[in-house]
């Protein structure tokens, strides 16, 4: 799987501030991914110094475990990973950019499917809904609120992990700014000390 950081297409060099934002964003994905999937699941991370239309500004490649039957905790992990870059921006830079739009869409899409299509709603756990738009207002509002609760839960988990491993985030971000790509043994060395966290 790939987590990608997007920004409005332009053929221009990134400013130092942009580079810091993209590298911090990708470092967040690396650290949270290592904590939730295991350090060995993160295989490559890179950023670009010059944005070319249609290309990503940063990418983190990883191999999550394959589950035949996905459980709630598996979806929570996937959403947390999707939100990790944006949360890292907020925690370490004090503001967020619009570059994590695709990550947010992915997170919201998973959370919405959990409560509508996978029977994982806390309020309507034995019902499946094809869409939120055709439901009675009270049901759709409850489900929308539940989606937001899931997103908030996952953002809080990402922040907890990132704060615990602040030095890893900063080291990876600094290295990305310098070299633009980290892979293999070098990446595993930077992720050393992060143990896999269990999610209930």
Distance, in Å, from the CA atom of 30 to the CA atom of 169, rounded to the nearest integer, reads 8
Residues in the chain, total: 200
Does the annotation mark 26 as catalytic? yes
Of 89, 65, 86, 91, the residue nearest 77 (C-alpha): 65
Q: Chain centroid to CA 105: how far?
A: 10
Phi then psi dihedrals of residue 130, to 5 deg: -75, -30
Catalytic entry in 26, 61, 89, 159: 26
How far, in Å, are 70, 75, 189 from residue 67 at the CA level? 6, 11, 27
Annotated catalytic residues are 26
């Amino acid at each position: 799987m790939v987590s990608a950081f997007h920004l409005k297409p332009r053929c221009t060099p990134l400013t130092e501030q942009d580079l810091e934002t993209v590298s911090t964003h990708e470092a967040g994905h690396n650290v949270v991914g290592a904590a939730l999937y295991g350090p060995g699941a993160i295989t490559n991370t890179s950023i670009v110094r010059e944005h070319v239309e249609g290309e990503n500004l940063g990418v983190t490649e990883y191999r999550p475990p394959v589950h035949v039957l996905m459980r709630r905790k598996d979806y929570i992990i996937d959403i947390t990973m999707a939100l990790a870059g944006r949360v890292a921006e907020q925690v370490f830079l004090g503001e967020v950019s619009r570059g994590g739009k695709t990550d947010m869409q992915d997170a919201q899409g998973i959370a919405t499917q959990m409560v509508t299509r996978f029977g994982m709603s806390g309020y309507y756990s034995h019902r499946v809904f094809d869409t939120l738009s055709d439901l009675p207002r009270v049901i759709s509002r409850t489900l929308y609120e539940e989606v937001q609760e899931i997103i908030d839960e996952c953002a809080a988990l990402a922040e907890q992990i990132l704060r615990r491993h602040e030095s890893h985030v900063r080291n990876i971000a600094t290295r990305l700014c310098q070299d633009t790509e980290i892979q293999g043994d070098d990446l595993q060395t930077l992720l050393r000390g992060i143990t896999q966290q269990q999610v209930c």
